[in-house]
């Protein structure tokens, strides 16, 4: 794997893109699902397009779409209460940088098949003292020697979730390619997710812990252990055929979705590859879209954080013995708990600012594969590649460009663990299945 060359910036870079017409000036309240500490980062996407679009066209359409999505050009700040975040909708602008890199699309695919540190050159680094000082929307378009382009975006997770980012990017694409009104208008207010007064925590929430009550000596912290070592990305692509074979390992006794089967398989392989103690209790935290689980449902166009983390738990020995049946069952039970009352209970729980997401013994999976991100077309065709700009210990289920039925699993782990994970993830394809086929052939 080779490093990418440096980006060449011309003129005064970056520029601030402001809405093309006046926008409301006010403070936008952020819900407890928006502003808790686990989401205080930017979602960073990388797109590779074979055909480029002129910077003037992109900046003009961005300026127009930001009239509707005006909170994206505000600034996030701490509210007067001192504990909550809000958006100062002041129209200050989104950061937009344009650059040139002396490579082709094919060079990028061949030189850097997985995220590495040199990819960070593809997103302008805003000099800021803290996360709150970074504008909610940062964009860089890098033009390539072959006439292609790489689009990188950083969107503040406190402002929107994966569905919300996809909604915004498709609105930008619509503004770039069409004169018609946006098919879905953004819904800004977060008060539909206000906590109750007084707060009522009516469910147990094993995915959270209070920082004031954590016994640091009681549990081996997998997260800190992993982050203390050099990490390497693992990327595995599962085709529709692979996914069907995986689901069949549960059939006919248990019907499951593709996500449930792949999440169970990944959780199990993760525990095996880390060689965790068999008696250890581990968790799987995964995002569940709750827009349609609430009563009433969230309004159409709601782009704020409309998900909660479901939590499945298991002892390692139950997870790694046998097939994925036990893990799938645990995941299904965790999903079934996400009801309107459970979500309201979560929101009320997060009124307590000492509550944090418990990642100490957890695998976290975020689902990007069914959000339509890979369908983005700014006028030059759909992307050759779409994925995250960086890789982390949190696992992503990613779309595969031009193959809507496939899913790419990406996670970063220590190099020796990556090798074991890759083996565990693919052995169901060439292990017993092949042995059974060979015995039948004889």
Q: Cis ω on the peptide bond leading into residue 54 (within 30° of 0)?
A: no
Identify which of 171, 176, 145 has the alpha carbon closest to the alpha carbon of residue 54. 176
- Residue 142 neighbours by CB distance under 10 Å: 27
The pairing of beta strand 395-400 with beta strand 208-210:
unpaired
Tell which residue, 164, 117, 169, 180, has the closest CA to residue 139. Answer: 169
Cα-flanking dihedrals φ and ψ of residue 254, to 5°?
A: -145, 115
Inter-residue contact 336 to 268 (CB < 8 Å): no
Collect all residues with Cβ–Cβ distance below 8 Å to 53 and sequence separation of at least 6.
Answer: 149, 176, 378, 379, 380
Identify the sign of the CA torsion 245, 112, 50, 125. positive
- The beta strand positions in 168-280, using DSSP E, are 208-210, 232-238
Catalytic positions are 157, 377
DSSP tag of 347? H
Signed CA dihedral, 72, 77, 80, 83: sign only: positive
H-assigned helices in 112-177: 162-177
Locate tokens 């001192």: which residue? 82
Rounded to an integer, what distance in angstroms lies between the CA atom of residue 208 and that of residue 69?
32
> What element of type H or E holds 260?
helix 258-274
Residues whose CB falls within 8 Å of the CB of residue 224, separated by 6 or more in sequence, listed in order: 360
Is the peptide bond preceding residue 252 cis, with omega within 30 degrees of 0? yes
Which residues have C-beta within 8 Å of that of residue 255, sequence separation ≥ 6? none
The residues, ordered by sequence, that sit 6+ positions from 136 with a Cβ below 8 Å of its Cβ are: 71, 72, 73, 74, 75, 76, 87, 94, 155, 156, 158, 159
CB 155 within 8 A of CB 168: yes
Chain mean position to CA 163: 10
Please give the Cα distance from 424 to 271 (Å, whole number).
Answer: 10
């Amino acid at each position: 794997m080779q490093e990418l060359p440096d980006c060449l910036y011309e003129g005064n870079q970056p520029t601030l893109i402001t809405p093309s017409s006046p926008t409301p000036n006010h403070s936008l309240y952020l819900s407890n699902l928006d502003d808790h500490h686990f989401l205080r980062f930017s979602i960073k996407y990388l797109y590779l397009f074979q055909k480029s679009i002129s910077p003037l066209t992109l900046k003009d359409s961005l300026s127009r779409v930001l009239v509707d999505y005006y909170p994206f050009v505000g600034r996030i700040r701490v509210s007067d209460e001192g504990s909550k975040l809000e958006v100062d909708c002041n129209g200050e602008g989104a950061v937009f940088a344009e650059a040139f890199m002396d490579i082709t699309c094919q060079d990028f695919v061949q030189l850097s098949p997985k995220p590495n540190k040199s990819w960070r050159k593809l997103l302008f680094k805003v000099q800021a003292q803290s996360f709150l000082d970074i504008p909610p929307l940062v964009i860089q378009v890098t033009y390539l020697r072959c006439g292609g382009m790489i689009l990188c975006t950083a969107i503040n997770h406190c402002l929107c979730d994966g569905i919300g980012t996809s909604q915004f990017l498709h609105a930008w694409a619509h503004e770039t390619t069409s004169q018609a009104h946006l098919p879905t208008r953004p819904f800004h207010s977060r008060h539909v997710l206000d906590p109750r007064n007084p707060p009522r925590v009516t469910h147990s929430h094993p995915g959270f812990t209070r920082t004031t009550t954590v016994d640091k000596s009681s549990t081996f912290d997998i997260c800190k252990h992993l982050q203390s070592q050099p990490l390497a990305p693992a990327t595995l692509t599962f085709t529709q055929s692979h996914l069907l074979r995986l689901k069949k390992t549960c059939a006919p006794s248990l019907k499951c979705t593709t996500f449930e089967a792949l999440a169970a398989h990944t959780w199990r392989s993760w525990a095996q590859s880390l060689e965790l103690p068999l008696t250890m209790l581990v968790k799987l935290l995964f995002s569940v879209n709750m827009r349609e689980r609430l009563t009433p449902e969230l309004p159409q166009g709601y782009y704020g954080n409309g998900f909660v983390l479901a939590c499945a738990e298991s002892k390692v020995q139950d997870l790694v013995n046998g097939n994925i049946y036990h893990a799938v069952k645990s995941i299904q039970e965790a999903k079934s708990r996400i009801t309107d009352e459970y979500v309201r209970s979560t929101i009320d729980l997060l009124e307590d600012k000492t509550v944090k997401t418990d990642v100490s013994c957890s695998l976290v999976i975020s689902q990007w594969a069914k959000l339509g991100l890979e369908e983005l077309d700014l006028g030059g065709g759909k992307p050759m590649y779409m994925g995250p700009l960086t890789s982390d210990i949190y696992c992503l289920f990613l779309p595969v460009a031009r193959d809507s039925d496939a899913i790419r699993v990406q996670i970063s782990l220590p190099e020796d663990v990556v090798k074991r994970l890759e083996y565990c993830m693919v052995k169901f394809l060439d292990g017993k299945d092949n042995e059974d086929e060979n015995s039948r052939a004889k």
